[in-house]
Structures are given as C-alpha cells and as structure tokens.
Chains A and B, each alone.
Chain A
Amino acid sequence: MNKTEIIEGLVKRVVAGDMLAAEQLYERFFGAMFHISFQMTQDKMLSEDILQDCFTKSFIKINQLKIDSQYGGWLKRMVINASIDAVKKRKNWVDFDQEILNEVSIGYQNTNWSKIEGLDIDSVNQAIAELPERSRLVCCLFLIEGNTHKEISEILEISISTSKSQYQYALKLLRRKLVQKGN
C-alpha cells in the first residue's frame, strides 16, 4: 500500500468517525504542518494553537474533501492561511517600504551568491526567525513551500514585484546573518 492509499484509507475511516484514524493522520502531518506554521509565526505556542484549530477544523469538515488523498494539501493551505492571518494580526505588522525594496533590488545584483561553507539547518532556521515578518512569510512560502511569486502575491495580497523584492531582501539579510555567524 503506497502513501496515497494509506492517507485515503485513513480519511475514509475518519469520515466514518474513527478517532484512531484521526490520530494517525495527526501523527503523519503534525511535524510538517508545525514546521510550516512555526517558520511563519516564529512562535511555538501560536503555531500549536493554529495547528490545534486547523486539525480540528479539518476533521470536522473532512467529509467535504473531494479527493481523500489530497488531505495533506488541503490541511497545508489551511495552516498557511491561518499562520498568515495570525502574523497579520500582530501589532508590529507593517507594510514594507517600497523605497527600501527598490534599493534592495539594486543591491541584489551586486551580491555574491556563492555557497556558505559549513552551513547547518539550525543556523538557517535561526536566521529565518530573525527576518522581518513580511519578508519571512515571503521567504517561507517561496523557499520552503515552493510557491511562485504569483501565488505568494495572491496569498499575501501584494503585487508580484513586491513579493520578488521582499524575497530578495530576505535572502540578502539571511546571507548577511549567516556569514556573520560563520565568522
């Protein structure tokens, strides 16, 4: 039985009211979903709350799922949207200054984008956590989730060029922080 079939089977059991299957789905997806949410919010408690809400909603509405095997994608969209909403609600949420973005865009061309030796995941996660929130969201959606800038612009309700500029800004900041740490 492949992964898709296992998920299909679990979803069918949850629809029939099997809580054991729901727990198995939770165990399968918790890690990935927590990672997505935490990268965006950088708040463990908040991400746990988001996941609690999203898993509960997903089980309540699981019979609305048209293709059972797509549970993961469906849940991921739910988690991303909830995480973005949570970040937007924060007091320090500010729109990005377009002038800074323009400067960043120019600076991007002149940056050395070679590999950084001895880089590890913990340092990367730490650097991502220190990014400004909006840049971090764009960075997570682009780097981790593999969304295009068009998709990001729709999710975050910004223009495509803003998404690109913010990503470049994030990448530049990440490199600066990681190089500093390496030294």
Chain B
Amino acid sequence: MDSKNEFEKQLKFLLKTPQEISLSRSHWLKIQSGFENAEKKKRKRRLSYWAMAASILLLIGIFFFYPVTSNKSEAEILAQYGLTEYNFPSLVQQKLIALPKTKVAKSQAEYLDILKNQLYFLDKQYANYLEYINLNGYQEFIGIQIQNYYEVKIELLDKIQKEIKKLKSRNNENSNNINEIEWNI
C-alpha cells in the first residue's frame, strides 16, 4: 500500500481509539448458563461412560469370576450328565470292600504304597474334574475324563488285589522268614 497515504494512517489512528461498549449483565448470564449447561452435559456424558464401563466390567466379572457353584453332590453331578450308566461308583465301592486290611512284608508294603499313591493321584484329578464342572458347567471332554478315571481306578484296584494275592501266596510259602506289617488302602 502507498506509504504516502495519509488518509489510511488517519483511519488506522482513529480506529485504534478505545471505544466504550456497554456491558450487559444479561449477556454474561447467558454465557454463564451456556457454559454451565455444557459442563453439566459433559459431566453427564462422563458419568454415562463410567456407568457403561462399570456395567461392562460387572458383566465380565459375572462371566469370569462368579462361581457357577451348585450345591449338588458328586452323585447328582454324575447322574445329571449320564455318568452313572456304567455304575462306576458302586463298582469302585465293591473293589474297595474287597481290599481289607492285610499283612505284607515291609518291602512289599512299599511297592503297594506306590500303587496306592497312583490311586490318590487319580482321586485328586477326579476332584479337579468336579471343581471344573462346578465353575464352568459340564462339557463333554470332562465327562470322558471322568469315565477314564473310573476305568483306570477299577483297573488299578484289580491290580492291587492281584498283587496282594500274589504276595500273600508267596509269603505263605516262606512264612517263617518274613516280618509282616499291616497294610490297607
């Protein structure tokens, strides 16, 4: 722009002069209420986000952590999922009754204890299966595991019985030289 333009300079000077503009209280009050409304909306939105997040967390919590516990007994669980059709529990019971207290040599007792520990190990696994059903509900693979448990347990009890018979008959042949101790399952 032309630097010799005196008129432009005059305008710039005049326009820089502070001009009084009256403030109206109602104008400020409108701004204040607009701001406060916006803040309220923001707070509400934030609150609704938190509520949403909390309900999602609650749902996740219910899904993952709330134990689907039932007060059902072991027999009821087995019956509910058709695991009693092979009559496993009563078969196991019969096998256990057939294994009364017996006397075996100390070294033989140690061998039988190994078999007994295998039984305990199986029982622990079985307890885990039941706990899994309690927490997560029944699933087919757990049913298969429980069937395997009973089959292996029955086999193991048969094996213990056979071993005891073998040991007893051997001990009877050499009864004089053996220091026997009491053993039971």
Residue ranges of A at the interface with B (Cβ–Cβ < 8 Å): 17, 19, 22-23, 26-27, 30-31, 34-35, 48, 51-53, 55-56, 59-60, 113-116, 119-121, 124-125, 143-144, 167, 171, 174-175
Contact = CB atoms under 8 A, between A and B. Distances in A.
14 contacts: A31-B19, A31-B20, A55-B31, A59-B31, A59-B35, A60-B35, A60-B39, A115-B6, A119-B14, A143-B8, A143-B15, A171-B5, A171-B7, A171-B8
Interface in B1-31: 1-2, 4-8, 10-12, 14-15, 17-21, 23, 27-28, 30-31
Interface of B: 1-2, 4-8, 10-12, 14-15, 17-21, 23, 27-28, 30-32, 34-36, 38-39, 42
A120 B13 CA distance: 10
Contact of A56 (B14, B15, B31): B31
B39 to A, nearest CB: 7
A60 B39 CA distance: 7
Given A113-B2, A113-B6, A124-B15, A30 B35 contact: no
B38 A56 contact: yes
B14 A31 contact: no
Contacts of A143: 8, 11-12, 15
Given A113-B7, A115-B6, A171-B7, A22 B14 contact: no
A167 B30 CA distance: 36
A52 B15 contact: no
Judged by DSSP, the binding face of B is helix
Given A22-B35, A56-B34, A113-B2, A27 B23 contact: yes
Contacts of B32: 19, 22-23
B21 A34 contact: yes
Nearest to A146: B12
A126 to B, nearest CB: 12
A121 B35 contact: no
Contacts of A22: 32, 35
B25 to A, nearest CB: 10
A121 B2 contact: no
A56 B39 CA distance: 10
Contact of B6 (A48, A59, A114): A114
B29 to A, nearest CB: 10
B6 A30 contact: no
Given A23-B28, A52-B31, A55-B31, A115 B7 contact: yes
Given A19-B35, A52-B30, 13 more contacts: A26-B31, A30-B21, A31-B20, A35-B21, A52-B31, A53-B34, A55-B31, A56-B38, A60-B39, A113-B2, A113-B5, A113-B7, A114-B6
A61 B173 CA distance: 100
A88 B164 CA distance: 105
A181 to B, nearest CB: 14
Nearest to A35: B19
Contacts of B35: 19, 22, 56, 59-60
Nearest to A114: B6
Contacts of A56: 31, 34-35, 38
